[in-house]
Chain A
Amino acid sequence: DIQMTQSPSSMSASLGDRVTITCQASQDIGNNLIWFQQKPGKSPRPMIYYATNLANGVPSRFSGSRSGSDYSLTISSLESEDMADYHCLQYKQYPWTFGGGTKLELK
């Protein structure tokens, strides 16, 4: 199975901060990665497809990037509505696997 190591598991940041969350893949997944946002009591919402493509309706302050086996989700200027859990998922090879999740809180 492909392991997705997500970091950090939790973090606190201030409004306006630049925030980066990373998933490291144990094997090559190409760019077959989705980032999800999940707010308390809500279902996951896809934010970024194929590692770098913004989903419909997602604010432009969100972006996705790749460096080797490291995939990152960046929020350029944190807003209060961005406080949530974030998850990555690889869909390159079965079984598809999630990262461990990141809880983003306000400092």
Chain B
Amino acid sequence: EVQLVESGGGLVQPGASLKLSCVASGFTFSDYWMSWVRQTPGKTMEWIGDIKYDGSYTNYAPSLKNRFTISRDNAKSTLYLQMSNVRSEDTATYYCTPGYFDFWGPGTMVTVSS
């Protein structure tokens, strides 16, 4: 059974940094591109970016490219999202998803507020 478990969210102050993790199981993690997607409290969904199966290439939404970094550790079947200089508009639930969005974890919520 495929499982994706995101973690690392919480309440953070504007300007802070935060690193989210996604632990995957039930499939060969190293065979798949992985994406991060977020959903605002108003339910709007935004693709953040993705990373090639071997970690050698990434794509990002242009508006987030300068502050967000995606990485992975295939030995640990774990995907990461490093967020820097967070803003109130980064408040959202963050999801990781493999391939063509076949499976989704429960997400981890990030709230940016002073």
Q: Are B95 and A89 interface neighbours, CB within 8 A?
A: no
Residues of A within 8 A of B43 (CB): 38, 85, 101, 103
Q: Are A95 and B101 interface neighbours, CB within 8 A?
A: no
Size class of the B contact interface (CB-based, 8 Å) = 10 to 19
Residues of A within 8 A of B49 (CB): 95
With the chains together, A34 CA to B45 CA distance in Å? Answer: 13
Query: Any chain A CB within 8 A of the CB of B28?
Result: no
Neighbour of A98 across the interface among B47, B62, B102, B107, CB < 8 A: B47
The majority secondary structure among interface residues of chain B is: loop
Query: Any chain B CB within 8 A of the CB of A67?
Result: no
Q: Are B100 and A49 interface neighbours, CB within 8 A?
A: yes
B4 CB to closest chain A CB, in angstroms?
Answer: 9
Q: Are A1 and B62 interface neighbours, CB within 8 A?
A: yes
Q: Are B105 and A95 interface neighbours, CB within 8 A?
A: no
Query: Any chain A CB within 8 A of the CB of B60?
Result: yes
Give B residues with C-beta under 8 Å from A. Answer: 35, 43-47, 49, 59-62, 95, 100-102, 104-107
- Pairs of residues from A and B, 3 with the lowest C-beta to C-beta distance, nearest first: A43-B104, A98-B45, A96-B47
Report 7 cross-chain contacts, Cβ distance below 8 Å, ordered by A residue. Answer: A43-B104, A43-B105, A44-B45, A94-B59, A95-B61, A98-B44, A100-B44
